[in-house]
Structures are given as C-alpha cells and as structure tokens.
Amino acid sequence: MTNGDAAQRFRMGKRYGQHPDDGEYPGRLIIVEGIDGSGKSTQIDLLAKWLNSRNLVTVFTEWNSAPIVRNTTRRGKEGRLLTPMSFSLIHAADFASRVHTQILPALKAGAVVLADRYVYTAFARDTARGVNQDWLRRVYSFAVRPSLAFYFKVPLEESIRRISIGREEIGHYESGRDLGLAGSREDSFRKFQGRLLDEYADLADEFGLITIDATLPIAVQQRAVREHVAPLLDGILTIHGQSVPEALGSAGLSGRYIRAPGTRKIEAQTSNEG
C-alpha cells in the first residue's frame, strides 16, 4: 500500500489518536485541559513566559477562537439556538480551522504550540451533552496527538468556589442549562461540571493525560509542568534578534493569526463559554 493509499484510508474514518503524522513534526504541541476554575490558563501563561525567556518560538491557540467561526458561535449562543449536535459541529469547525491555519503550520516550522484546550474538551463536553463518543473520535480524526497533554484536576467544590469569586455570571451553555439538568443555573452548573469531571477521569486513562493536582500551589504545579516540558525542547526554532512573527516568517509561517497569551483580549476570553 502506498503512502497516498494509507492517507486516503485514514481520511475515510480512522479514529482520533491514529493520525499517520503523530510525532513526525519538528515542533512540539503542548496542551492543557481541565474544568472551569482548574487554573489551566494560568499555568499555560506561565509556561509561555518561561519558553519565551529561553528565546524559543512559541505560539498560542485557544478554544473557540477561529475568526471564521467565532461570530457564528456567538450568535447561536445569544439566541440559544444550539442543540448538542450543532454545538459539537460548530466547535469541530472552529477546531479544524485552527488546526490548519495555526497549529500544523507552526509545528511544521519547528515552533512550540501551546493550546488552551484541545480535542479532549470536545470529548468531555460533547459526551456530557449526550453526543456519541465514537462519532466524536472520528470527527476529530484529523487532529494530531499532542507532544504533552496536561489535565489540571480540581475538586468540584473548589472549582465552584473559584468561579464564584472570578465571574459575575455563568453562561447558559457553560452551566449546562440547555440540557435541563436543574431548575437554577447554579445547580445546573454544579451537575454539568460534575459530569465533566467524570469524563475527564476517563479521558486521562484513555489518552494518558498527565494529571496535575490543581489544588497545589501555583509554583509547584508550574515546576511539575516544566519538568515534563524541558526534555522536549531540543531542536525547537529559536528567536535571534527577531520578533516571534519575524521568526515564524523566516520559517515560512505567517504570524498574523498568532497571539501571545498575555495579549488576549477580554472579549476573546469571554467568548470561550461552552
């Protein structure tokens, strides 16, 4: 069988986790996962700063952020028009756009790609909404496996405590109100987040996610993350008196879609609900 035949067979329905290019790119893909309030975004920001201090070309991508899809997602949420299946498909379209415009080009160029949520977010959230697990793994079959995948595990009550401090209101889909889990938004959020914790426990076993105790001090968590990341950094594209976009451009990659974690806009952060 030729390589082209193998690729065609892959496109016709292989499951996620069996991509022929897994581990073949010169760059590294490092992702963080966890329920709301797990502190994963703080950890990936700290990791980005550490990598930048070593002059490594580092690019960032986050869930539900592709410009071509984001406005559609927002309108669907505002009108509460999204069923579990349509919600799943919109997020898959967003993810596909980011994979092909951001993630794969950066990996091919030899950069470190940091992703705040990856396919496991879809697997956890969509399954919690009743979408078929096997179908999801086939829909996301085009995604390469990350070099490292961290799961920041936080107890439900601690997650709720952190959310109550940091947010004025919990969104309709974020709380799982579309599923009719409970009468109040707070009770619905608690039940939905509990479902996500169960799904992430299964995903950590299925895909070998590195579990970090998200109740530990921030510095302790970050030290553990860096210990896992450091051995993977040999051969990564470096910056030599250039900006990140310039370094990416010299490797044939446009940096116009790339934003560092520290430059994210507030509206981009709030658009990640669901």
Q: Using one digit for the tens of pLDDT, what is the confidence trace for 22-51?
A: 889 999 999 999 999 999 999 999 999 999
Banded model confidence at residue 69, pLDDT cuts 50, 70, 90: confident
Summary mean pLDDT of the chain: 83
Banded model confidence at residue 219, pLDDT cuts 50, 70, 90: very high
Q: Which amino acid is at 213?
A: D
pLDDT at 251: 64
Q: Residue 102 — φ and ψ, nearest 5°?
A: -120, -60
Confidence check: pLDDT of 4 > 60: no
Which carries the bigger pLDDT value, residue 5 or residue 126? 126
pLDDT at 82: 77
Confidence check: pLDDT of 258 > 70: no
Instruction: Determine the Cα–Cα distance for residues 7 and 14; give it in Å rounded to an integer.
Output: 10
Banded model confidence at residue 268, pLDDT cuts 50, 70, 90: very low
Instruction: Determine the Cα–Cα distance for residues 200 and 202; give it in Å rounded to an integer.
Output: 5
Q: Using one digit for the tens of pLDDT, what is the confidence trace for 225-248?
A: 999 999 999 999 898 777 767 776
Q: What is the pTM of this model?
A: 0.83
N-terminal to C-terminal alpha carbon distance within the chain: 42
Domains of the chain with CATH codes: 30-270 (3.40.50.300)
Query: What are the angstrom distances between the C-alpha of 159 and each of 71, 152, 263?
Result: 28, 11, 25
Confidence check: pLDDT of 259 > 60: no
Mean pLDDT calculated for residue range 72-91: 81
73, 256 in Cβ contact below 8 A?
A: no
Instruction: Determine the Cα–Cα distance for residues 228 and 8; give it in Å rounded to an integer.
Output: 34
**Which residues, including other chains, have CB under 8 Å from residue 149's CB and lie 6 or more apart?**
30, 31, 33, 118, 120, 207, 208, 209, 210
Q: Using one digit for the tens of pLDDT, what is the confidence trace for 151-167?
A: 999 999 999 898 888 67
Strands in 28-33's sheet, in edge-to-edge order, are 58-62, 112-116, 28-33, 148-153, 210-213
Which carries the bigger pLDDT value, residue 268 or residue 26? 26
**Which residues, including other chains, have CB under 8 Å from residue 90's CB and lie 6 or more apart?**
69, 72, 73, 76, 82
By percentage, how much of the chain surpasses pLDDT 70? 80
Query: What are the angstrom distances between the C-alpha of 240 and each of 90, 141, 174?
Result: 39, 36, 42
Banded model confidence at residue 266, pLDDT cuts 50, 70, 90: very low
Query: What are the angstrom distances between the C-alpha of 80 and each of 12, 24, 73, 87, 274?
Result: 33, 41, 10, 10, 12
